[in-house]
């Protein structure tokens, strides 16, 4: 792979890039103009292997950032189906991390990309080269891709203009998944794409449990398995249901046992206690236990403030990630909030007492349906656990009043 300025391969996947080492940074929590989007097109709409850059390139931008970034992957192929768009999109994470000195985190409109000083010095100074490497990886790993082109947009106004279109597509993907429940299917899926960062982590994806990164629901995983049966996502028989409230299945336990290298042999899909699902590093949010009120809060990647206990997302993410089962701390996709089985064994949405304001607004419909929308505190209402306790008492939160019965 000597045509490129940096080395390429799975050995670079776990590589982190610290602030001091970074040459340039795109996206991340400090900027809203960011997304990645794979689109299925007709063959005649694609100029094969073209990489286009709209806006300034790495070499034109000064050191530092964060700068805006959109990554558009357009593909065509007889055997490709629209269902496969999220799968192709998620591969950006894997392939970008294959590049020496390049780091990619998260997904959809949460992306965060860094290029380190070493890679820049070696000559990786253009998004064009990153695009060419991506194309090389896509075409060598996914046979069904017959034509591909990649567009990077760093022009802030242009990213802003396209973002709502992408968000609409993400929402449509999520909506489709809502109709299906765990009991409606025999097959669940497992994704081990993040094992390079967290060797004992795998995501179990069931109809009522979207993957931690939020980029893969049950339908997406089904499409991924069909597209690349040898790839990081595969189906397995869910087996016997051992506990329908907690979401424990013989098939899930077996998978966790083999994919965690024997570290864990039981997993609950719908509880944060005893045998919670593990977390890698690219969860969208963390559902966390607040001992003072024996209830839960959620903090997400883009929230730069503090929890009522004074913790930042980044530090909580540090202790939640790494592929361990940590009671009371679960990396989740925000969309899990819409699942009818959202931590159902623990009291579900009715046990949520603190949410960042934007999350509370985004999921207003389901929170209202559960009668807790106006009982949940945000960063605007409280800034310490004492204030949280007082707030919940004042508004009469049903969990605090003891009105929420745990199922089973």
Provide the 8-state DSSP code for 163. Answer: H
Nearest in space to 322 (alpha carbons), one of 264, 235, 247: 264
What would the two tokens of residue 46 be? 């694609």
* Spatial CA neighbour of 327 closest among 404, 266, 372, 389: 266
Segment 281 to 310, residues that bind ligand SF4, using CB under 6 A: 282
211 binds ligand SF4 (CB under 6 A): yes
Site track 334-363 with ligand SF4 (rule: CB under 6 A), x = hit: ------------------------------
> From the DSSP assignment, how many helices (H) and strands (E) are in the chain?
10, 17
Residue 191 interacting partner from Zn ion, ligand SF4, none (CB closer than 5 to 8 Å by kind): ligand SF4
- Which of 91, 77, 79 lies closest to 42, judged by CA? 77
Instruction: Name the residue nearer to Zn ion (CB basis): 90 or 349.
Output: 90
Least separation, in Å, of the C-beta of 192 and ligand SF4? Answer: 6
Q: Which is nearer to ligand SF4, 90 or 173 (CB)?
A: 90
Give 14 or 328: the residue with its C-beta nearer to Zn ion.
14
Enumerate residues 243-282 that contact ligand SF4 by CB under 6 A.
280, 282
As measured in angstroms, the least distance from the Cβ of 280 to ligand SF4 is 5
**3-state class (DSSP) for residue 362:** helix
Nearer to ligand SF4, 138 or 354 (CB): 138
CB closer to ligand SF4 out of 280 and 372 = 280
The reply to whether 6 sits near ligand SF4 by the rule CB under 6 A is no
Coil, helix or strand for 109?
A: helix
Q: Which of 6, 53, 71, 193 binds ligand SF4 (CB under 6 A)?
A: 193
Q: Are the C-beta atoms of 92 and 108 separated by less than 8 Å?
A: no
The residue among 308 and 323 lying less far from Zn ion, judged by its C-beta, is 323
The site partner of 154 among Zn ion, ligand SF4, none (C-beta below 5 to 8 Å per kind) is none
Chain-centre distance for alpha carbon 51:
26
Distance CA 110, CA 212 (A): 13
Q: Which option in ligand SF4, Zn ion, none does residue 145 bind, with CB closer than 5 to 8 A by kind?
A: none
- Reading the block at residue 129, the tokens are 């080269």
Taking CB under 6 A as the rule, does residue 213 contact ligand SF4? yes
The stretch among 137-145, 177-185, 189-197, 295-303 that binds ligand SF4 (CB under 6 A) is: 189-197
CB 217, min distance to ligand SF4, A:
10
Enumerate long-range contacts of 258-263, CB under 8 Å, 24 or more apart. Answer: 259/190, 259/192, 259/195, 259/200, 259/202, 260/200, 260/201, 260/202, 260/323, 261/199, 261/200, 263/200, 263/323
Q: Determine which residue in the list 127, 215, 286, 337 makes contact with ligand SF4, applying CB under 6 A.
A: 215
Say how far apart CA 253 and CA 116 lie, in whole Å: 39
Q: Tell me if 338 sits within 8 A of 310, measured CB to CB.
A: no
Residue 404: CB minimum distance to ligand SF4, A: 30
Are 254 and 262 contacting, i.e. CB atoms less than 8 angstroms apart? no
Nearest residue (CB) to Zn ion, 104 versus 246: 104
CB of 206: closest distance to ligand SF4 in angstroms? Answer: 12
CA-CA distance, 220 to 210, in Å (whole number)?
10
290 binds, among Zn ion, ligand SF4, none (CB under 5 to 8 A by kind): none
Distance CA 193, CA 195 (A): 6
If binding is defined by CB under 6 A, does position 191 make contact with ligand SF4?
A: yes
- Determine the longest span between alpha carbons in the chain, in angstroms: 65
Residue 392 touching ligand SF4 (CB under 6 A):
no
What sign for the dihedral angle of Cα 370, 297, 260, 173?
positive
Q: Tell which one of 149, 200, 212, 320 touches ligand SF4 (CB under 6 A).
A: 212
Selected from 203, 287, 377, 388, the binder of ligand SF4 by CB under 6 A is 203
Residues that bind ligand SF4 (CB under 6 A): 90, 191, 193-194, 203, 211-213, 215-216, 280, 282
């Amino acid at each position: 792979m000597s045509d490129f300025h940096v080395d390429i391969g799975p050995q670079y996947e776990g590589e982190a890039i610290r602030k001091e080492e970074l040459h340039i940074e795109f996206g991340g929590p400090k900027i809203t103009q960011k997304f990645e989007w794979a689109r299925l097109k007709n063959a005649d709409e694609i100029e094969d292997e073209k990489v286009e850059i709209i806006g300034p390139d790495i070499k034109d931008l000064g050191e530092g950032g964060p700068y805006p970034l959109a990554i558009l992957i357009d593909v065509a192929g007889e055997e490709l189906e629209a269902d496969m768009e999220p799968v192709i999109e998620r591969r950006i994470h894997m392939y970008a991390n294959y590049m020496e000195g390049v780091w990619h985190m998260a997904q959809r409109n949460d992306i965060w990309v860094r290029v380190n000083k070493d890679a820049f010095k070696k000559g990786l100074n253009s998004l064009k080269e990153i695009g060419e490497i991506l194309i090389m990886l896509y075409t060598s790993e996914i046979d069904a891709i017959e034509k591909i082109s990649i567009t990077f947009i760093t022009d802030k106004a242009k990213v802003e203009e396209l973002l709502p279109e992408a968000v609409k597509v993400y929402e449509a993907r999520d909506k489709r998944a809502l109709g299906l429940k765990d009991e409606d299917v025999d097959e669940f899926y497992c994704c081990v794409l993040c094992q390079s960062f967290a060797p004992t982590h795998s995501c179990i994806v069931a109809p009522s449990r979207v993957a931690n990164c939020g980029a893969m629901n049950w339908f997406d995983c089904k499409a991924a398995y069909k597209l690349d049966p040898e790839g990081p996502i595969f189906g397995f028989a869910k087996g016997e249901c051992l506990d329908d409230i907690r979401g424990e299945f013989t098939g899930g336990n077996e998978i966790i046992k083999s994919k965690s290298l024997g570290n864990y042999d039981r997993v609950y899909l719908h509880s944060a206690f005893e045998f919670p699902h593990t977390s890698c590093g690219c969860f969208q949010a963390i559902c966390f236990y607040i001992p003072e009120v024996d209830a839960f809060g959620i903090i997400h990647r883009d929230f730069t403030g503090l929890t009522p206990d004074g913790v930042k997302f980044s530090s909580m993410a540090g202790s939640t990630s790494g592929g361990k089962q940590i009671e009371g701390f679960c990396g989740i996709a925000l969309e899990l909030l819409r699942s009818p089985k959202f931590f159902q064994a623990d009291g579900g949405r009715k046990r949520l007492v603190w949410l960042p304001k934007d999350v509370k607004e985004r999921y207003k419909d389901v929170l209202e349906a559960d009668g807790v929308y106006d009982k949940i505190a945000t960063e605007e209402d409280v800034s310490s656990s004492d204030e949280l306790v007082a707030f919940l008492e004042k508004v009469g939160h049903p969990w605090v009043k003891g009105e929420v019965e745990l199922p089973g």
